[in-house]
């Protein structure tokens, strides 16, 4: 009797979905296998590397066919997936080398001894933890515990999220260096009130479209051209201060607490811009006489030296400036939830740790305002309800400014996509 039978080794169910996610994330999938060419092509069509009816004349090669080509790099630069069948170890190594020479970031996945040279050469060598040989594991940078291709895609998403959170931390922390606060106040803002939100930003969830964006180029710096645009210079007095887009508003709003806001609790109007521009020359002003005033439970008198009005007085204005800065910093922490996504699509409650951190920071600020010992130490006085309303009105536009810039960024991303791709084997 003669019996005819077929044997089939189907791909894992998760692979087609993972391939689609790779394509959406700008990751090209190149298959290098020792299998027969026709078998490998059928599998690639099944898992989604190629379309069902796609012409593979220029996208499917045996290892020897590829090595014999004169324009190997042009073949590797083609858009979409590629297949190399009947590949020997030297063929795999040569493909990885050519990709790296062309400026690509190459991730190589393998399980056998013959994969070890290519795994070692790749930017990221990935070995199978279950079916992989010890040689392959030793040559790799990463070992898959479950031998699942989908895990690689999840790792890419996690890596992008960590990188974005790092950038969020930097954007947030750099926005608190304002020059019109006294050193102890600025130190308090940097070390205490900014600390909890900055730490909580590390728990930001990934953006919803993290795996729908192309990968960044390997030579890209942590501070991109767009971020540099958002760190535009803002001149304050005679010193230069580099500031974020929203920080220009921070500088103007905190300085504005000294410019022209009439606070009756101080007993007189605040300094003019002309006086502020000549801060150290008040002794030359004509008819300058600072009257005593009371702020909170403190009495300020300037009979000995009227210029002390600018260095020791104006406690209310300093308090409002500090409160404006702290409030803007809390709003900025909400802006830092995502580099591009609006607060409407990524609301504050996606990171409950950030909301808790903001509450802690505000509690600490209230402590310095309304506990006399701390208020005296920081040179500030309590604020009334109306003054807090002023603080909120001045601080809130920082969210509107950042939302507008995020909208511009999203529009630009839709029109312009970087050509850099991350290769996955």
Q: Where are the domains of the chain?
A: 14-155, 163-415
For residue 106, name the pLDDT band (cuts at 50, 70, 90). Answer: very high
> What's the confidence (pLDDT) of residue 373?
86
Mean pLDDT of the 33-41 span: 89
> What's the confidence (pLDDT) of residue 296?
56
Q: Which tops the pLDDT comparison, 410 or 271? A: 410
Q: Does domain 14-155 have CATH number 3.30.70.1230?
A: no
Mean pLDDT of the 219-239 span: 56
For residue 239, name the pLDDT band (cuts at 50, 70, 90). Answer: very low
> pLDDT by residue (tens digit) across 304-347?
666 666 655 567 777 887 888 888 888 888 888 887 788 888 88
> Over the chain, what is the mean pLDDT?
77
Fold of 163-415: Calcium-transporting ATPase, transmembrane domain (1.20.1110)
> What's the confidence (pLDDT) of residue 235?
32
Placement of tokens 């947030």 in the chain: 172
SS3 of residue 299 by DSSP:
strand
Mean pLDDT of the 18-32 span: 89
Q: What is the pTM of this model?
A: 0.69
> pLDDT by residue (tens digit) across 374-408?
888 887 888 888 888 888 888 888 888 888 888 88
> What's the confidence (pLDDT) of residue 3?
62
Mean pLDDT of the 246-260 span: 48
The rounded radius of gyration (Å) of the Cα atoms in the chain is: 31
Mean pLDDT is lowest, of 32-46, 118-132, 187-201, for 187-201
> pLDDT by residue (tens digit) across 159-214?
888 888 888 887 777 665 554 556 777 777 777 778 888 888 888 888 777 887 77
Mean pLDDT of the 260-288 span: 52
Mean pLDDT is lowest, of 249-258, 288-297, 352-361, for 249-258
Q: Which tops the pLDDT comparison, 352 or 278? A: 352
Res 108 pLDDT > 90: yes
Proportion of the chain above pLDDT 70, given as a percent? 71
The distance from CA 198 to its chain's CA centroid, rounded to whole angstroms, is: 12
Mean pLDDT is lowest, of 4-8, 248-252, 302-306, 401-405, for 248-252
* Residue 116, φ and ψ in degrees, nearest 5: -55, -45
> What's the confidence (pLDDT) of residue 383?
82
Give the Cα separation of 232 and 247 in Å (integer).
Answer: 8
Give the Cα separation of 27 and 29 in Å (integer).
Answer: 6
């Amino acid at each position: 009797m003669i019996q005819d039978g077929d044997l089939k080794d189907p791909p894992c169910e998760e692979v087609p979905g993972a391939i689609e996610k790779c394509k959406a994330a700008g990751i090209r999938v190149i298959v290098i296998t020792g299998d027969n060419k026709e078998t490998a092509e059928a599998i690639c069509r099944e898992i989604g590397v190629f379309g069902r009816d796609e012409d593979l004349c220029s996208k499917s090669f045996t290892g020897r066919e590829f090595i014999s080509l004169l324009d190997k790099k042009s073949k590797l630069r083609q858009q979409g997936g590629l297949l190399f069948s009947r590949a020997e170890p030297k063929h795999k190594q040569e493909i990885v080398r050519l990709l790296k020479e062309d400026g690509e970031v190459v991730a190589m996945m393998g399980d056998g001894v013959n994969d070890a040279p290519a795994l070692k050469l790749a930017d990221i060598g990935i070995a199978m933890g279950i079916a992989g040989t010890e040689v392959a594991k030793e040559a790799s940078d990463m070992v898959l515990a479950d031998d699942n291709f989908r895990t690689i895609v999840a790792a890419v998403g996690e890596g992008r999220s960590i990188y974005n959170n790092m950038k969020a931390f930097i954007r947030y922390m750099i926005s608190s260096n304002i020059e019109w606060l006294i050193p102890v106040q600025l130190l308090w803002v940097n070390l205490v009130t900014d600390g909890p939100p900055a730490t909580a930003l590390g728990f930001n969830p990934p953006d919803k479209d993290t795996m729908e964006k192309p990968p960044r180029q390997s030579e890209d710096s942590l501070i991109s051209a767009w971020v540099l645009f958002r760190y535009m210079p803002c001149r304050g007095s005679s010193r230069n201060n580099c500031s974020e887009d929203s920080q220009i508003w921070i500088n103007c709003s905190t300085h504005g607490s000294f410019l022209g806001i009439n606070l009756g609790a101080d007993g007189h109007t605040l300094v003019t811009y002309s006086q502020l521009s000549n801060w150290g020359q008040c002794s030359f002003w004509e008819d300058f006489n600072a009257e005593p005033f009371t702020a909170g439970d403190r009495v300020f008198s300037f009979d000995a030296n009227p210029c002390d009005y600018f260095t020791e007085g104006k406690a209310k204005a300093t308090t409002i400036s500090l409160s404006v800065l702290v409030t803007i910093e809390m709003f900025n922490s909400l802006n830092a939830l995502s580099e591009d996504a609006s607060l409407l699509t990524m609301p504050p409650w996606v990171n409950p740790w950030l909301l808790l951190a903001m509450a802690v920071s505000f509690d600490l600020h209230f402590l310095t305002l309304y506990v006399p010992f701390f208020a005296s130490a920081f040179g500030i006085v309590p604020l009334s309800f109306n003054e807090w309303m002023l603080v909120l009105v001045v601080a809130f536009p920082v969210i509107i400014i950042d939302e507008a810039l995020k909208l511009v960024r999203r529009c630009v991303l839709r029109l312009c996509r970087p050509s850099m791709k991350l290769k996955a084997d």
